[in-house]
Structure 1
Amino acid sequence: MKLIKLSGILLLSSSLLFGCANTDTTSTTEKEKATKNVAADALKGVTDEYRKYAIGEIEEFVKATEVFTTAVKNGDIDKAKALYAPARMHYERAEPIAEVFGDLDPKIDAREGDVPEVEWGGYHRIEKGLWDETTTKGYEQYAEQLMKDVNLLRAKVDTVEVTPDMLITGAVDLLNEVSTSKVTGEEDRYSHTDLYDFVANVQGAEKIYQLLNPALKEKDAELSKEIGARFDEVYSLLNKHKKEDGYKSYTDLSKEEVKELSQAIDALAEPLSQIGIVTEAS
């Protein structure tokens, strides 16, 4: 994976110009290897930074989940409702790493119908109790299990190997998840706090873009600029729906507003999907 033009190619061109193309192939190969190493080191710095970011979000998720589950166990339904969406934002931002654990993600984030009813727990199970059944009674066990699963996620996340491909795929997947499923309102179907998830997914994708952007500018400055402008457009639309420290109920949005958001996210996802050029040789 290389971000910098191969100096060996320029050297070879010079050799041909002066009629000595075959005199230093060993040196050229060594310079090409050195260039590859520089590029790999640059991307390693990016993956290390993302790792810190994602682990930081998971740590905040642990803290927020502890307060949320305590409210559920204490029967404080109003507090639990207020904490639900902000707590989940930490998870949504870090999904490219969090979803690596195929056993834990469904336990923490499965929606009704995603898993057999007998296995369904986690945030959305408690969401149903809080908003659909307007009670915390009987949900203490779900709160206890959710806290155990979130703590286990934090313990396991240190083992994840973060690669440039994971970041590139993850950034696009975060946006696709919004535009293909979350835009329907099915994610938070009881609380209608979907806009919090939208914002967190966009923020998670933007963090990946920001980390890869210096390399992207080297490859394609116009693409870099376009992606930045598309992020600005999406945030502009999301900011219209802010309400105090949070966001409106998703059901308060008109069909036209939902369509506008969906189209803006699709318009961002298209150029963002080309960000993989940062790993290509040039």
Structure 2
Amino acid sequence: MLVWAVSGVLVAGAAVGAGVLATAGGSGGGGGPARASDSDGLRHTVVEVTPGGCGRGWSHPAPGRQVFDLNNTSSAAAEVYLTDAGTGAVYGEVEGLAPGTVRPMRVTLGSGSYAFKCLPDDADAVTGPTVRIAGGGKVKSGPAAVPVTQQDLIPPTLGYQKWIQDRTVELATRTDALRDAIDRGDLPAARAAWLPAHLVYERMGAAYGTFGDADGEINGTTAGLPGGVHDADFAGFHRVEYGLWHGESARGLRGPAGRLAKAVHALRDGWPDQRIDPGDIGLRAHEIVENTVQFELTGRTDYGSGTNLATARANLDGSRELLTRLRPLLKGRDSGLGGLGTAMDRARHTLDAFHHSGHWTPLDRLTRTQREKVDADLGDLAERLADVAALTDVRRTA
């Protein structure tokens, strides 16, 4: 299950991974102009952020690891990018730099031409003077990426929407099989039908934010329900799961199974009218795995079937589907793309090792070594996918 929350995918003061541009540290607190050198041992340069003086103060450029202390002396908050003057690729960024505040941007720069771009709230972007660094020698500039536009993201989003449409049809078919088994009183067949149906839904993770109330009706948990598993509002796959693995009669499960099938059919029939926000899909690729670690690998969504590892595996399929569609945009932007693919394969193979003869090993039966490997592999993948979220974040350019 995915629980949508604002997720910090950009780490303050440093790149998230090898392929992601640097971001500013701090919370936007005040302070005067920074010193030319500081306790961190790095070269510091105070740079002005105003519509009339964007980038002013960078008069002695030099290569290497360094800090720009961005000083917003204007009356409006602003975003600030350090860009390649030729390609527009972004080496560093600060969002929400409040008036009268200073925040550091740490970057590594080699030989090349650079320019600050200041984007005040409710005003046009301003590009500062081009600054050239020569004599960088072996110093290579840190990661940079050409900003992704909303238009860039529309083709992969449309393709993904069509993929989801096909999954809703499959979901309805499999959920009907689950309901029908319960209706005829065949609980062993219902238990066999539950997981295949549930996994179809779990592969659709990037679309959950578009499902609205349907997500709770189809895949809700007891979180926030005062009555827990006996609460009248507990519904969907997990409600049926609880009954199937806790001795509830077929008669008692007919209502929950029927409501689940009804919600699934409504989702299938209404999906052609829904639209996924193109700006969300890169973030969703990361959040799918992030929430897998948080909810599936902790067993918080197990209501008796012991199939959290199967769900985690389905979540990886969903994330991989998004990555396949985003790959054309990531090529040339993410230097760690090859490592990301390797990390995805490693996590999938790790999970596959716990699937034997149609059965998945429950979390509580993993050895300590097995558990540590699962946690490590999926945690590493989640960190790498944070790069994707950062690189596909739509940045303002004008």
Same fold (TM over 0.5): yes
2:309 corresponds to which of 189, 192, 195: 195
1:105 maps to 2:218: no
Count how many residue pairs are aligned between Structure 1 and Structure 2: 249
Moved more, 253-262 or 71-80: 253-262
CA contact (8 A) 1:98 1:157 kept: no
2:194 to 79, 84, 88: 84
Distance 1:153 1:98, change over 3 A: farther
User: 2:234 aligned with 1:120, yes or no?
Assistant: yes
* 1: CA distance, partners of 2:338 / 2:260: 41
1:269 aligns with 2:388: no
Seen in structure 2, the aligned counterparts of structure 1 residues 114 and 199 have a Cα distance that, compared at 3 Å, is farther
Pairs within 5 Å for 1:1-282: 9=86, 41-116=151-226, 117-220=231-334, 222-275=335-388, 276-279=390-393
Q: Which has the higher helix share?
A: 1
The whole-number CA distance in structure 1 between the counterparts of 2:276 and 2:223 is: 31
C-alpha distance in 2, partners of 1:109/1:280? 30
1:148 positional shift: 0.8
Amino acid at match of 1:65: T
CA–CA separation in structure 2 for the residues paired with 1:242 and 1:129: 24
> Partners in 1 of 2:280 and 2:225 — Cα distance?
26
Instruction: Using the TM superposition, give the Cα deviation of residue 280 of structure 1 relative to its aligned residue in structure 2, in angstroms.
Output: 5.5
**Alpha-carbon offset, residue 9 of structure 1:** 4.4
User: Any idea what the Cα deviations from partners look like across 1:211-247, whole Å, max 9, x if unmatched?
Assistant: 1112111212x22112111101101211211212453
Secondary structure, aligned partner of 1:119: coil
The equivalent of 1:24 in structure 2 is none
CA contact (8 A) 1:54 1:94 kept: yes
Check whether the contact 1:106–1:115 (CA below 8 A) recurs between aligned residues.
Answer: no
Q: Equivalents in 1 of 2:224, 2:218: separation in Å?
A: 12
TM-superposed CA distance for 1:99, in Å, is: 4.0
Aligned counterparts of 2:356 and 2:209: Cα–Cα separation in 1:
30
**1:63 positional shift:** 0.8
Return 48-57 or 131-140, whichever deviates more.
131-140
The Cα RMSD (Å) is 2.4
Query: Is this contact kept in 1: 2:150–2:279, CA < 8 A?
Result: no
- Secondary structure of residue in 2 paired with 1:181: helix
Larger strand fraction of residues = 2
Per-residue Cα deviation, 1:162-204 (whole angstroms, up to 9, x for no partner): 2332211211111111111111112123110111210111110
Q: 1:105 deviation in Å?
A: 1.2
Please give the alpha-carbon distance, in whole angstroms, between the structure 2 residues aligned to 1:259 and 1:73. 41
1:219–1:278 Cα contact (<8 Å) kept:
no
Q: Which has the higher contact order (CA 8 A, sep 6+)?
A: 1
Q: Retained in 1: the 8 A contact 2:340–2:384?
A: yes
1:91 Cα shift?
0.7
How big is the shift at 1:41?
A: 4.8
Q: Using the alignment, how far apart are the partners of 1:112 and 1:42 within structure 2?
A: 39
After superposition, the C-alpha distances for 1:127-179 in whole angstroms (9 at most, x for unaligned) are: 11111125323111111111111111112222322233221121111111111
Letter in 1 for 2:182: V
